[in-house]
Amino acid sequence: MKVNQFLLILSFEFLFLLFGESRSLSADDGNQVYIVYMGATDSTNGSLRNDHAYVLNTVLTRNKKALVHNYKYGFSGFAARLSKEEANTIAQHPGVVSVFPNPILKLHTTRSWDFLKSQNHIKTDSTFSNSSSSSNVVIGMLDTGIWPEAESFKDNGMGPIPPGWKGTCMTSPDFNTSNCNRKIIGARYYADGKNDGSKTVRDNDGHGTHTASTAAGNVVSGASYYGLATGTAKGGSPESRLAIYKVCTDGCSGATILAAFDDAISDGVDILSLSLGGPQDLKPDLTTNVVAIGAFHAVEHGILVVCAAGNNGPWPHSVTNDAPWILTVGATTIDRNFQSNIVLGNNKVVEGVAINFSPLSKSADYPLITGESAKLPTADSEDDLEDARHCHLDALDREKINGSIVICDGMNDTNFYYSTSLKVRVLQGMGALGLVHITDKEGAVPDNYGDFPATIVRPKDHATILQYLNSTSNPKATILPTTTVLDYKPAPMVAIFSSRGPSSLTKNIIKPDIAAPGGDILAAWTGTETDETYVPNGKLLSPYNIISGTSMSCPHVSGLAGSIKSKNPTWSPSAIKSAIMTSATQINNLKAPITTDLGPVATPYDYGAGEITTESFQPGLVYETTTMDYLNYMCYLGLNTTKIKVISKTVPKNFSCPKDSTPDYISNINYPSIAIPKFSSQGTVNVNRTVTNVGEVDETVYSATVVAPFGATVQLIPEKLQFTKSSKTLSYQVVFTSTFTSLKEDIFGSITWSNGKHSVRIPFALTV
């Protein structure tokens, strides 16, 4: 399905009253795919609701081949091929709420787990497994499939498949039943009828293999990417099983994503990991967001849903997958860097950052010029000189560029998107031997430039190069191939590409929720060349690849959640989510506050509660966000009681939305963070939170520490929480008072409960 398809949300009296009327269609004539969504199912055995069957039969009577997907396990509805007229007719049905375009979503390790353990503040009894033992936890991956032959997915030493597993292993000419095992226990694909790559679970992209091995890959020694990042590769939960749902081939169809959610709920997964999301300019509300719809039903069935925050940073309001029942993950760097240094003709070495396999000599034998000195003969204006300094294509003389290493200025370039990669293409096409890019705009996550010797130099080191250029009439240099640097400081930093808050849904909940390693992560790769595959001259295809994105940070959290679930099998999705968030760290390996990789100190809009740690195995206290919290959230956003009862299978019969529902009440749902919009205009705001003692000791006392920002006072009632055998759940009140008549910017603080062993921290945001 492509972008000209449409998504039809049809719900039995669901959201119709909110909008008052259905949305009109603007599709071209002809058959297209629509989704009919009808809220909760009546049962889990696959039987259809009467109204579901009626509408479906109406469609099939017209065209028996119209059905694409039938959603009947986790929620009710179907996807079908309809003409514009047929869709408009169905849209007039009393149960039809809205018709909207079917979104095509996009895809958003050796060192990272060791680094995360090193960030712990206390010694924990549990840690990531280093063996091939097995658990009954199943992590479902909605992605591009899997390359089952990778060492990360062998099942040596694993026990039998969990007895409650109901999934299947779908086969194709290139994927047979033996490709599933006791590690990969489920494999499903969703053929779109147009692309042969969608008719197999096999991953011909690499993305799905990379994320699956990051989440639950086995322990594999001697992993590397052509000698870089050498070490032992392992997933966050190597003892967990994998269920693969191939939902992305050319993009990720919303209808297919919903089908995978439906199957995963029926199959019996415990964790769902989605390293995908809509583009930045696609801001659907909860009623038109396929990930939010599928995730709500999954969470209602006891499944934790972990999603990537998106790669549209560092711009504010760019976070996606921000429904409160989703664990939304931003990306950070780790304490490993990749250096590609420059050797100048005077034997001075200047540090550069990049991944490349430079074929140049290690001696400084190559002409070194600046972009400005390679300007066209006709360049005479200051603008022309500026363009040449920045290495713009139409400002450079090809004869001067050919055979030289070129220094390009990126410090003052007003074109933020003229990246190192684009400059590589320009210079490579003009015969340059290499690129030295002087910039601080591209953050701390180096890209891969293959055999072309390209490297990034920070402005602080630019003076060394300029001094050398001015000291000789015949400057020479070389660019060395990349080497791996460990124990790099500072780390972590929030990656420049990681999408930022606040949420576009509501500023009453902080998003993203958490951050995890997502910069230059090494993990398993497909066995065939893809768009993101590079093979150096004379080398064979690597079974591992290094790539970056919140797509890489998401499975880190999914793997951590899988290990927590394995050791705490009765914990709810929200308990696991709380454990991960409240144990996060905000301190880097210099014992200083975590920053963004552009320099400023990070805020909860950058990393949520902070960077994950393995202290989440023993959180002490958890904040249980219940289904009732989520139902109230829907009320506060404007949905009414009737439609909410259609959405949820667990809503009590006597449930009703408060008559005075307002988004301000969202701040009061039992979430492991707090956000108060329009704070200064409200004067004083009270919110409540409830915590449950899950520590080793029943009788314990937690005392509070508040870090309050300038402009606010914060009072806790009570200031101590005394737990006993009969009082494992206690509540407290937070009173925020503004000391300013107005705020010029959002301010942040935190509340930490500690009993001497466990420290349970939640961030808060007081917004303009």
pLDDT tens per residue across span 677-709: 999 888 899 999 999 999 999 999 999 999 999
Catalytic pick among 51, 143, 606, 746? 143
> 560-591 pLDDT, tens per residue?
999 999 999 999 999 999 999 999 999 999 99
DSSP 3-state of 559: helix
Distance between CA 763 and CA 510 in Å, rounded? Answer: 9
Distance between CA 755 and CA 637 in Å, rounded? Answer: 37
Burial label, 737 (beta-carbon count in 10 A; 0-12, 13-18, 19+): middle
Distance between CA 524 and CA 544 in Å, rounded? Answer: 4
Band of pLDDT at residue 97, cut at 50, 70 and 90: very low
Catalytic pick among 542, 551, 673, 759? 551
Residue 129 has pLDDT above 50, yes or no: no
Residue 89 has pLDDT above 80, yes or no: no
Catalytic pick among 52, 69, 108, 207? 207
Distances (CA, A) of 321 to 285, 477, 559, 609, 722: 11, 47, 19, 16, 37
Q: What is the mean pLDDT of residues 760-768?
A: 96
563 among known catalytic residues: no
> 162-185 pLDDT, tens per residue?
999 999 999 999 999 999 999 999
> 422-479 pLDDT, tens per residue?
999 999 999 999 999 999 888 889 999 999 999 999 999 999 999 999 999 999 999 9
Distance between CA 483 and CA 362 in Å, rounded? Answer: 13
Closest CA to 553 of 592, 525, 514: 514
207 among known catalytic residues: yes
- pLDDT at position 21 is 30
- pLDDT at position 216 is 97
